[in-house]
């Protein structure tokens, strides 16, 4: 499974700076990407994110934007300016907001000569239950406005890829059999997520709550 390291996104859901840096130090030589969400962003702010980007790390800023179109597009422009690899918006924000985000991100990246961050739409949180129809309706909006991908349960990945093959599918909710699911409801091991067509898997606690991050990540990729 060594070829899958570049498909692993490690969620840095920690409020301890030293620990975050340690996880990044141990796992970046493997070529993984890192996700900074509301926990670390709220505690350490944008400069902390920029530090990693300046070191050449691929950072996925997972703030799950969900607001009126003007607020979303202005926030998206700042994220594009930071040089993040990817960021999330809630698909429920609707067509106008999502189109505004896309246009703003393209414009900002072009103006600054930076790579454009991937815009990933959150369909339904993997801690909630949803039908395939509900997921597909939101995903079809992501497709029609030209987002780059969606965040979805590994169990929904196959259906999404079947209907919308241009969209990247990023799946949290990854657990090895017999391990603690935490608050995640719709889970699978990594092998099933990839077999279902996931382009990337997002994994937090099964790696960051362990003492040996590298071995924990290896176990997940073998799972
Ligand atoms: O610790 P765990 O592996 O459950 O972490 C999953 C990560 O993916 C968390 O950072 C969570 O916020 C994020 N996420 C999710 N479900 C979504 C979108 C993001 O679990 N639909």
Domain extent listing, the chain: 5-222
* pLDDT exceeds 90 at position 102: yes
Report the separation in Å between the CA atom of 169 and the middle of ligand 1, taken as the mean of its atom positions.
14
Selected residue with higher pLDDT from 63 and 183: 63
Residues 6+ apart with CB under 8 A from 59: 33, 34, 35, 36, 49, 52, 53, 84, 85
* pLDDT exceeds 90 at position 162: yes
* pLDDT exceeds 70 at position 202: yes
pLDDT of residue 126: 59
By mean pLDDT, which of 169-173, 185-189, 206-210 is the weakest?
Answer: 185-189
Q: Residue 171: left if φ>0, alpha if ψ -120 to 50, beta else—which one?
A: beta
pLDDT of residue 55: 97
Pocket lining: 147 vs ligand 1, CB cutoff 6 Å = no
* pLDDT exceeds 90 at position 182: no
Residue minimizing CA distance to atom 12 of ligand 1: 37
State which of 10, 12, 13 you would mutate to test the pocket of ligand 1, scoring each by most atoms of that ligand within 8 A of its C-beta.
Answer: 13
**Domain 5-222: CATH architecture, name and number where available:** Alpha-Beta Barrel (3.20)
Selected residue with higher pLDDT from 136 and 9: 9
By mean pLDDT, which of 89-98, 99-108, 123-132, 187-196 is the weakest?
Answer: 123-132
In whole numbers, what is the pLDDT of the chain averaged over residues?
94
Selected residue with higher pLDDT from 162 and 178: 162
Residues catalogued as catalytic:
64
pLDDT confidence band for 179 (50 / 70 / 90) = confident
Q: Residue 39: left if φ>0, alpha if ψ -120 to 50, beta else—which one?
A: alpha
CA 92 to chain centre: 17
Nearest to 109, CA basis, from 145, 81, 84, 85 = 81
pLDDT confidence band for 33 (50 / 70 / 90) = very high
Kindly report the backbone phi and psi dihedral angles of residue 105, in degrees, each rounded to the nearest multiple of 5, phi listed first: -65, -40
Report the separation in Å between the CA atom of 172 and the middle of ligand 1, taken as the mean of its atom positions.
5
State which of 8, 9, 10, 11 you would mutate to test the pocket of ligand 1, scoring each by most atoms of that ligand within 8 A of its C-beta.
Answer: 11
The pTM assigned to this predicted structure is: 0.94
């Amino acid at each position: 499974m060594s070829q899958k390291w570049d498909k692993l996104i490690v969620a840095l859901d920690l409020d301890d700076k030293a620990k975050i840096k340690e996880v990044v130090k141990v796992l970046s030589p493997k070529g993984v990407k890192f996700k900074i969400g509301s926990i670390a962003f709220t505690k350490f702010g944008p400069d902390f994110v920029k530090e990693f980007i300046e070191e050449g790390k691929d950072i996925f800023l997972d703030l799950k934007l969900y607001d009126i179109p003007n607020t979303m597009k202005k926030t998206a422009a700042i994220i594009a300016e930071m040089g993040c690899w990817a960021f999330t918006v809630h698909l429920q924000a609707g067509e106008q907001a999502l189109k505004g985000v896309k246009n703003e991100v393209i414009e900002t990246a072009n103006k600054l000569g930076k790579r454009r961050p991937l815009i990933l739409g959150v369909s339904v949180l993997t801690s909630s239950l949803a039908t395939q129809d509900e997921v597909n309706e939101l995903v079809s909006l992501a497709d029609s406005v030209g987002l780059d991908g969606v965040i979805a349960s590994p169990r929904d990945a196959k259906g999404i890829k079947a209907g919308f093959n241009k969209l990247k599918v990023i799946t949290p909710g990854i657990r090895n059999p017999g391990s603690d699911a935490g608050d995640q409801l719709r889970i699978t091991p990594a092998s099933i997520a990839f077999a279902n067509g996931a382009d990337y898997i997002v994994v937090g606690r099964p790696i960051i709550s362990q003492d040996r991050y590298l071995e924990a990540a290896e176990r997940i990729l073998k799972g």
